[in-house]
Structure 1
Amino acid sequence: MKVWYFAYGSNLDLETMRRKVGSWYELKPAILRNYRLVFDHYSPSWSGGTADVVESEGGIVYGAAYLLDEEQLKILDRFEGVPTSYNRRKVLIEVAGEKLEAFTYVVSNPKKYVRPSEEYLSKVLKGLRRLGYGDDVVNGVRRAAMGKA
């Protein structure tokens, strides 16, 4: 069975995702409504904060929808540190105006704010640009990375 996965952090970077799951069936820009992007988890492997989404009325998180098989999702669970670091959550996303059920990951034990490393942030921003997102979205993520969103 195939499932949609909503990425909003380093998994926006195509090379990062390829290393983790190989190839995917589809990849499209996607929106997660009524959530906002925050950096509230410390990752030793990134030496800094990593992204999370938290419920927020009227909020929007821009990201990617990857169509994967269930085995690839299980592989992602291991990479994301389920359940210690992140938990998998079912969400409703929008892809080209169509609502789709997808899975995403939310931080298990969030901190207040953890500044991301430049390397991590550059992967996120590069992924957004490749998906065709403009300066407004990229700058919004930069603000969130500074704890200002």
Structure 2
Amino acid sequence: MLYFSYGSFMSMDVLKQHCPSAKKISTAVLPNFEVVFNYYSKNYKGGCTGAEFVPGKIAYGVLYDISEEEMLHLDQVEGVYSAKYFRQEVVIITEEGRLEKAFIYRTTNPSGPHETTRAYLGKLLVGAKENHLPDEYVEKLQRHFDSLPES
């Protein structure tokens, strides 16, 4: 199953904790969506990412192939069964320009925006860097990270 991550699971090390058989397919973009901190996490004590429909915007991320069993596990991790997030099939564009159907997780009841934490944003930053996402996006994440108080 194809899974597009725009959040903390962009990092292979983070994703492999839950999906050991995950294979990176490509970096990709989700057109007409924006990554925002629209879910407040009690675990992180701050905002976590969600993708909101915004015409003209682009959400950067990573396309992975994971097993159906691992996707069901991600449903649990992402809080699908407790209505925190829901899984949605979307069309993404790979770095090679191919259109692919993939699943994303979106916030069920978006709120905020919420300030995020270094602990959470650090995972996004690692994933963005290790996957060589566009420099301007990595720099934006880095500036945000640098502006956050140390815990």
TM over 0.5: yes
Q: Distance in 2 between matches of 1:58 and 1:142?
A: 23
User: Paired residues, what number?
Assistant: 144
| Residue 115 (structure 1) aligns with | 115
Q: Secondary structure of the equivalent of 2:66? A: strand
Alignment pair present for 1:39 and 2:37? yes
Distance 1:58 1:76, change over 3 A: same
| Residue 61 (structure 2) aligns with | 63
* CA contact 2:24–2:62 (8 Å) conserved in 1: no
* CA contact 1:37–1:141 (8 Å) conserved in 2: no
Q: Distance in 2 between matches of 1:142 and 1:109?
A: 27
Q: Distance in 1 between matches of 2:46 and 2:105?
A: 18
Percent identical: 31
Q: Distance in 1 between matches of 2:104 and 2:71?
A: 10
Q: Which runs of 5+ in 2 are unaligned?
A: none
Offset of 1:143 from its aligned partner? 7.1
Q: Distance in 1 between matches of 2:6 and 2:127?
A: 9
* CA contact 2:11–2:124 (8 Å) conserved in 1: yes
Q: Distance in 2 between matches of 1:41 and 1:143?
A: 21
* CA contact 1:64–1:131 (8 Å) conserved in 2: yes
Q: Distance in 1 between matches of 2:67 and 2:36?
A: 28
Q: Which runs of 5+ in 1 are unaligned?
A: none
Alignment pair present for 1:13 and 2:6? no
Q: Distance in 1 between matches of 2:144 and 2:90?
A: 21
| Residue 91 (structure 2) aligns with | 92
Please list, as runs of the form range in 1=range in 2, the aligned pairs for 1:76-91 lying within 5 A after superposition.
Answer: 76-83=74-81, 84-91=83-90
| Residue 129 (structure 1) aligns with | 129
Q: Distance in 1 between matches of 2:12 and 2:78?
A: 16
Offset of 1:46 from its aligned partner? 1.6
- Cα deviation, 1:65-105, whole Å, max 9, x if unaligned, reads 00112111101000000041100011000112000000000
